[in-house]
Structure 1
Amino acid sequence: MSDIIRTSTAPAPVGAYPHARRVGKLLFLSGVGPRQPSDNTIPGNVYDAHGTLVAYDIEAQCRQVFANVRAVLEAAGARWENLVDVTVYLTDMARDFPSYNRLYAEHFAGVDAARTTLGITALPTPIAIELKCVAAFD
Structure 2
Amino acid sequence: MDSSSAAAFHAANAPKPVGAYPHARKVGNLLFLSGVGPREPETNQVKGLVLDAEGSIVQYDMEAQCHAVFKNVRAILEASGSKWENLVDVTVFLTNMKADFETYNRLYAQYFRDCQPCRTTVEVNALPTPIAIELKCIATI
Task: Give the equivalent residue in structure 1 for 2:138.
Answer: 134
- Equivalent residue pairs, number: 137
3-state secondary structure, aligned to 1:62:
helix
Aligned alpha-carbon RMSD (Å): 1.2
Aligned to 1:85: 89
Counterpart of 1:114, as a letter, is C
- Which of residues 121, 129, 136 is equivalent to 1:117? 121
Sequence identity percentage: 61
Q: What is the deviation of 1:77?
A: 1.1
Q: Distance in 2 between matches of 1:82 and 1:88?
A: 17
Return 5+ residue gaps in structure 1 as ranges.
none
Q: Map 1:1-138; keep pairs closer than 5 Å.
A: 1-48=5-52, 51-137=55-141
Query: How high is the TM-score relative to the length of structure 1?
Result: 0.95
Q: Mean Cα displacement is larger for which, 55-64 or 45-54?
A: 45-54
Runs ≥4 residues deviating over 2 A? 47-53
> After superposition, what is the alpha-carbon deviation per residue over 1:9-45, rounded to whole angstroms, capped at 9, x for unaligned?
0000000000000001000000000000001001110
Matched residue type, 2:94: L
Give the TM-score taking structure 2 as reference length: 0.93
Structure 2: gaps spanning 5 or more residues: none
* Contact 2:52–2:58, Cα closer than 8 Å, also in 1: yes
